[in-house]
């Protein structure tokens, strides 16, 4: 199952991308997380940062980058239906194969401005190329 966690890219440069996700009460994953207090799952905040990083690396989509590691991931505020998750991701380096990023996700409440946003999540993560496994043909007769 794949969830699209980027609705729009607001800004992009060579090493930075800013994108948003409008969290709707109709989102399938909110039905169980949690029924009486629906919030965007924390792992989806990380996934939104990862999806933004993939768009930074491949604006047309189709990026085959997998999470290689996550460090210093911290959560601040809940993100509720009707609020906007603003994701800011910077490429901080790489070692030839792995790409390193720092991300900040901010929650903007309905009717509030960016100046009134609160940090929902911050962290550092590494993306690496997804390698396809080549398996020998089956010798079943």
- 61's CB contacts (< 8 A; 6+ apart) are 54, 55
The Cα 77–Cα 72 span in angstroms is: 16
Q: What's the full length of the chain, in residues?
A: 141
Q: Are 73 and 122 in contact (CB under 8 A)?
A: yes
**Does the active-site annotation cover 118?**
no
Contacts of 68 (CB under 8 A, 6+ apart): 98, 125, 126, 127, 128
Among the listed residues 7, 12, 16, 33, the single catalytic one is: 33
Question: Which amino acids are annotated catalytic?
Answer: 33
């Amino acid at each position: 199952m794949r969830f699209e966690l980027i609705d729009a890219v607001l800004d992009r440069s060579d090493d930075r991308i800013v994108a948003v996700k409008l969290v709707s009460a109709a989102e399938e994953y909110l039905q169980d997380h949690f029924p009486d207090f629906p919030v965007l799952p924390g792992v989806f905040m990380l996934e939104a940062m990862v999806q933004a990083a993939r768009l930074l690396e491949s604006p047309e989509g189709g990026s085959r980058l997998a999470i290689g590691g996550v460090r210093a991931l911290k959560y601040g505020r809940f993100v509720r239906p009707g609020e906007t998750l603003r994701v800011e991701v910077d490429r901080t380096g790489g070692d030839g194969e792995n790409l390193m990023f720092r991300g900040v996700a901010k929650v903007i409440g309905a009717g509030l401005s960016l100046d009134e946003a609160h940090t929902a999540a911050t962290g550092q993560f590494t993306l690496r190329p997804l390698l396809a496994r080549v398996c020998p043909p089956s010798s079943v007769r």
